[in-house]
Structure 1
Amino acid sequence: MKLGFIGFGNMAQAIAKGLIDNDVIKEEHLYFSTRSEESRLTTEKEWHINGLASNQAVVDHSDVVLLAVKPHQVEQVLSELTFPSGLLLLSVVAGYSSRQLNQYVPADQCIRTMPNLNAQVNASMTALVENKQVTDGDWEKAKTIFRAVGEVMIVPEEQLGIFIALAGSSPALVFLFIDTLARAAVKYGMPKDKATAIAAQAVLGSGKTVKEASDSPWNLIDHVSSPGGITVEAVLSLLESDFSSSLITAFNNMIEKNEEMTRKNAE
């Protein structure tokens, strides 16, 4: 498989790194483009992948193209390209719908996707938007690419906003939780770096436990909460302080903001 990147920012770089590190696609089969020869040579030297002088050259050299530009750049970029039959386009552009993409790329050659920041450490949960017109072979290509940076979930497009709030934006909430726990430990005399490492590992392990356990998260809380112990004291304190309500409010705000951005991009 030959993969070309149109846009080579943080997300594209995370995906390229995952593909290379996991030996999914070799460097010589990865392509990108820049208008500046200087930046092209710099990126080639750093990444050992093929730099080309135009986006069309990337399309012409690739079996799969990953579109990773800013939303306001999509129309200009796609309108200048000719996509040959058989090429697959994977879009990681937020707020740009499949319907909009299909104005430039046939529906049977395009899959909208949504990875998250954790792709940088091969721990993304990536959404692949349902598309019954895409062949099984192209679905496997998409899954192979994004499994190199984590896990994959196929979702209907009408649920993508929920997915973005749940998987795309929620890492920021988890980072806030980790930092708050660490700061609380600092209050009692523990160095911040040590406290952050402990809190981060606790969150990492807790997520793994939830994924592998047959119990629900609520039942797992009961397993940790000994009668009359310190854990149940903390759980009750959070429940009394509307911790759950605050999270739901934050989630609602993320959904509303995504809908607002989607409407704006559709105008």
Structure 2
Amino acid sequence: MEAERTLGIIGVGEIAHAIVSGLCDGTDVPPAIALSPRGARTAAELAERHENVRVCPDNQAVADAADVLILAVRPQQRAEALAPLTVRPGTLVISAVAGTSVADVGELLGHDGPVVRVIPLPAVSRRSSITVTYPAHPVAEALFDRLGGALVAPAEEAFDVFSALTSTFTSYYAYLATLADWGTRQGIDGEAADRYVRGLFENAAHALTDASKTLPRIAAGHETPGGINERIRTTWYEPHREPLERALDALLVDLKRGY
């Protein structure tokens, strides 16, 4: 994204913080960024850290200043936050509002200009996360290429599938917490159990960087026939695979309906 474009962000929570950090930390020419006052503490902290970031008095002031407007409000707040806004013609609107279609965003804003949906994750702060986008737009893709890479979904239905996959994120962390807690209950020191589980899965994640291997092949490569990994997979994971898929199916239906 060209440096002269002003980026506006409405909804300054964790994702907005990550986007701003990824665009600004350690970069020579960060974009001008206008933030909404919602999430005042986070917005003020970002403005204090970065000379190119300012906090606007209200959401309309952000929309007025922005050439590229990012919407990062919660789905439950979308009507309240977006309906009163007037967006300048030609503004690129980038929506990180879950379960809200391109058409719905345009209708809420009364905006007939370009709207792109995105799924940014907290790791964009380190410029190490792929962001799914839809539809294709060169400015949006250039923006998220700076934050770790853009992956353009071929259709909005596919975008919703990517969104459903993202919903498993915190379950992964809860799974790790369960392992550490189980180890503690078996008599291991809690700090040691936490440290070991973190290290175990940090190392396991390294295998994912080898794109020449499929995910099933990676799994098979870490499993010995008749071994302990196979035992847990077959006795715990496999019986729960279908319930996981059903939960994702149900979530996908809700995402398509508008969450």
Report the TM-score when normalising by structure 2. Answer: 0.80
Instruction: State the 1:170 CA deviation.
Output: 1.6
8 Å contact kept, 2:126–2:147: yes
Gaps of 5+ in 1: 132-138
User: Whole-Å Cα distance in 2 between the matches of residues 88 and 153 of structure 1?
Assistant: 18
Is residue 257 of structure 2 the alignment partner of residue 257 of structure 1? no
User: Whole-Å Cα distance in 2 between the matches of residues 94 and 147 of structure 1?
Assistant: 21
Change in 2 beyond 3 A, CA 1:35/1:174: closer
8 Å contact kept, 1:40–1:52: no
Instruction: State the 1:242 CA deviation.
Output: 4.4
Counterpart selection for 1:80 from 79, 84, 88:
84
User: Whole-Å Cα distance in 1 between the matches of residues 14 and 40 of structure 2?
Assistant: 20
Is residue 115 of structure 2 the alignment partner of residue 113 of structure 1? no
Instruction: State the 1:207 CA deviation.
Output: 2.8
Change in 2 beyond 3 A, CA 1:214/1:20: same
Of stretches 195-204 and 2-11 in structure 1, the one that deviates more from structure 2 is 195-204
Deviation sequence 1:40-71 (CA, Å, 0-9, x none): 76764466521112222212222211111122
Aligned-pair Cα RMSD in Å:
3.1
User: Whole-Å Cα distance in 1 between the matches of residues 174 and 40 of structure 2?
Assistant: 40
**Percent of pairs identical after alignment?**
23
Equivalent residue, structure 1, for 2:216: 218
Change in 2 beyond 3 A, CA 1:125/1:36: closer
SS at match of 1:4: strand
Gaps of 5+ in 2: none
Instruction: State the 1:151 CA deviation.
Output: 3.7
Q: 1:88 is aligned with what amino acid?
A: L
8 Å contact kept, 1:33–1:40: yes
Deviation sequence 1:145-197 (CA, Å, 0-9, x none): 3344444321121023321222x222212112322332343345443333323
Q: How many residues align?
A: 252
Change in 2 beyond 3 A, CA 1:25/1:169: farther
Equivalent residue, structure 2, for 1:135: none
Deviation sequence 1:6-59 (CA, Å, 0-9, x none): 1111211111111111527637x1111227999976764466521112222212
Is residue 97 of structure 2 the alignment partner of residue 93 of structure 1? yes
Q: 1:219 is aligned with what amino acid?
A: R
User: Whole-Å Cα distance in 1 between the matches of residues 237 and 160 of structure 2?
Assistant: 23
Q: List aligned pairs for 1:87-166, cutoff 5 A.
A: 87-103=91-107, 104=109, 106=111, 108-119=113-124, 122-131=127-136, 139-155=137-153, 156-166=155-165
Counterpart selection for 2:33 from 30, 33, 37:
30
Instruction: State the 1:203 CA deviation.
Output: 2.3
Equivalent residue, structure 1, for 2:206: 208
User: Whole-Å Cα distance in 2 between the matches of residues 18 and 93 of structure 1?
Assistant: 19
Change in 2 beyond 3 A, CA 1:160/1:54: same
Q: 1:85 is aligned with what amino acid?
A: P
Instruction: State the 1:4 CA deviation.
Output: 0.7
Equivalent residue, structure 1, for 2:238: 244
8 Å contact kept, 1:126–1:146: yes
